[in-house]
Amino acid sequence: MSTDLQKYRNIGIAAHIDAGKTTFSERILFYTGVSHKIGEVHEGAATMDWMEQERERGITITAAATTCTWKGYQINLIDTPGHVDFTIEVERSLRVLDGMIAVFAGVEGVQPQSETVWRQANRYQVPRIIFVNKLDRIGADYFKVVKDIKEKLGSKVLAMQIPVGQSEDFSAIIDVLTRKMATFSEQDRGATVTWSEVPEEYKDQVEEMRLKIVEAACDVDEKLADKFLNEQEISLDEIKAAVRKGVLSLQIMPALCGTAFKNKGVQLALDAVVDYLPSPLDVPAIEGTVPGTDQKVEVAPNPSGPFYALVFKIMNDPFVGVLNFIRVYSGTLKAGSYVLNARNSSKERVSRIVKLHANKREEVSEVHAGDIAAVVGIKDTITGDTICEEKKALLLESITIPAPVISSSVEPKNKSDYEKMVIALRKMMQEDPSFQFSYDEETGQTAIRGMGELHLEIVLDRLKREHKLDLVQGKLQVAYKETIQKTAEAEGKFIKQTGGRGQYGHVWMRFEPLERGKGFQFENKVVGGSVPREYIAPTQKGIEEALTSGILGGYPVVDFKATLFDGSYHDVDSSEVAFKVAASMAFKAGMAQAGPVLLEPIMKVTVETPEEYMGDVMGDLNSRRGRILGMESKMDKHEIAAEVPLGEMFGYATELRSMTKGRAGYSMEFECYREMPKNVQDAVTSKK
């Protein structure tokens, strides 16, 4: 079975919105025989965009998985969203994939979400190949995009092909390594690939580029370098093996070209997936932690080993119930067997196992190491859980969940639907951990929180369509946070006498600001037992509960350190509750002295606009408290990069359309939290 794993490829397709990922995925399904007709995104018929909302908007919202075969290799493929509001889908997909195809548009090149995806892939050390798409468009330039990727993403990109013809005259692709030219039949939508000799005018360019590929291969393979220096013959297989080695070590990123929409180049990209991207045996073994300890254990991808799988996505299916998408890292799982959830130690039975084809299912009896599938029957799970054998429990590294930056209130028009709405919201939160909801007892409102306006718009649309709920949405709110600017010491003393046993808790605490993004830290520096050991944890708990609501506007407090350094206790009256209350009292007093300020989410905004609207767009961004970071010319448009507070960006899409007669577009992603100007802070807190 281990030889089978060499023929597995778990890959994702990721890019900026509108770079053509889903069209590229549709061609893969067609050429591998999974689908017999090509579904087009613009017609709302793409297989991988199966949700109603995806088909209406022509965008990918949820990562869709499918399985296909190419030249005897099994390819588990995940098509991920390109819109930043759904970045969790990319995050969790990259966590479980072994390789990635990064798609770039031939005209636009590196775009904001391309950079985000690239950073995510770097974080998870995912080997990747590049496909420069849409070369049939006017202004498309393969070599310019390759240069753009090198400069902006700092990667060693290796051009492996040469496009023949430009824009609408793009007709063929030259494979530099084999010195052959591929043309694609118009009659069968590119399924037939014909290889021929390279035209005379391209031969010098081919030799020049081939030398660069061989030199790059020699940099990662000493034996090949020796052969090259000794002017010995180097075979095609040796070069490919060395390039593969460079891809696996993230030293080489092969760049391919084509146009998925016009059916050119996709089969060559599939060949590159097989030739260069890793099998489960080629990636480093994943590490697990023994629950309740710091002991690390390596999990090798062995189908005969103990069973370990990571739940990377949860979906509620109206027909089969909860589907848990899993990546199996070790062992074999059979339908009907029991598994342990290593996070909460619950034991559950897997009733069915299904292989996925977007929203279609194929039932299978078992899955083993290397597989991506979905299991039915286990319910008490969240994204990032490990399921495993009961006797050899391990917690695999979980998934980074981005914090929501925007919120809104939502209420059912019919009060009797409230319970139904809460159940639906719980299901959605289980499916999408970047979406959260809570009930505010003070206002009596249900708040929903997400990654952007579109994110919440899709959530509300799904509540209406899938759960048949008639809802009223409140005004969008920004997820502000509070922090402190200076160090302060404060006393918290809680004494209560009720006739019988009283309550006594007394702490002295120091509060210090931390760098942005450091969160909350607690330190115990009590000397001499003035606060007994059993009351240290309740003191910390008291602070943690208090920091959920700051003193300026009731927003969560972040980026500070609380140090317990003194206090006192009573032999009879002291209790855990008393110390929790004393700690929260010290927190409120300390925060008031430590220069509290509001932090607001700052977004990185990229606007693409025709030149005649540049002044208007920049003036508008400045009026929104924006800071222009730079400008760049791209064909007939100019790209403006800026940092703008999220609170100033509501309704920007409409304003931009009106300002530019619909000819400009923009993308926005969360950058950081930053201190708010005093006048804006006063305006925000006065509304609370």
The owner of tokens 């990662």 is 220
Count CA within 13 A, CB hemisphere, residue 103: 29
Strand, coil or helix: what is 339?
A: strand
The CA distance from 421 to 438, in Å, is 12
The CA distance from 686 to 688, in Å, is 6
Is 42 among the annotated ligand-binding positions? no
Is 136 among the annotated ligand-binding positions? yes
The residue among 43, 40, 39 whose CA lies nearest residue 56 is 43
Is 139 among the annotated ligand-binding positions? no
**CA–CA distance from 282 to each of 2, 60, 276, 644 (Å)?**
12, 30, 11, 42
Is 83 among the annotated ligand-binding positions? yes
The owner of tokens 């994204």 is 383
Is 134 among the annotated ligand-binding positions? yes
The CA distance from 398 to 311, in Å, is 9
List the alpha helices (DSSP H) in 47-171: 52-57, 87-96, 112-123, 142-153
Contact present, 77 and 28 (Cβ < 8 Å): yes
Instruction: Kindly tell me the sign of the dihedral angle through the C-alpha atoms of 324, 93, 63, 39.
Output: negative
Is 135 among the annotated ligand-binding positions? yes
Backbone region of residue 621 per phi and psi (left: phi > 0; alpha: psi in -120 to 50; beta: other values) = alpha
The residue among 380, 542, 547, 411 whose CA lies nearest residue 475 is 411
List the alpha helices (DSSP H) in 43-141: 52-57, 87-96, 112-123
Instruction: Name the token pair of 414.
Output: 């019919």
List the alpha helices (DSSP H) in 323-452: 418-431
Instruction: Name the token pair of 643.
Output: 């940092």
Non-local CB neighbours of 546 within 8 Å, separated by 6+ positions = 583, 584, 587, 588
Is 450 among the annotated ligand-binding positions? no
Q: Give the CA radius of gyration of the chain.
A: 28
Is 82 among the annotated ligand-binding positions? yes
Strands 520-524 and 560-568, by their bridges, are parallel
Is 467 among the annotated ligand-binding positions? no
Which strand (E) or helix (H) includes residue 592? helix 576-593
The CA distance from 432 to 421, in Å, is 16
Residue 502, number of CB atoms within 10 A of its CB: 15
Is 159 among the annotated ligand-binding positions? no
Strand, coil or helix: what is 665?
A: strand
Strand segments (E) across 319-454 = 321-330, 332-334, 338-341, 346-349, 352-357, 360-364, 366-368, 372-376, 386-388, 395-396, 406-412, 436-440, 445-450
DSSP string, 233-268: ---HHHHHHHHHHHHHTTS-EEEEE-BTTTTBSHHH
Is 79 among the annotated ligand-binding positions? yes
Strands 180-184 and 193-197, by their bridges, are antiparallel
Is 559 among the annotated ligand-binding positions? no
Is 80 among the annotated ligand-binding positions? yes
Strands 73-79 and 8-14, by their bridges, are parallel
| Beta bridge partners of residue 609, listed in sequence order | 638
Tell me the binding residues for GTP: 15-22, 79-83, 133-136
Tell me the binding residues: 15-22, 79-83, 133-136
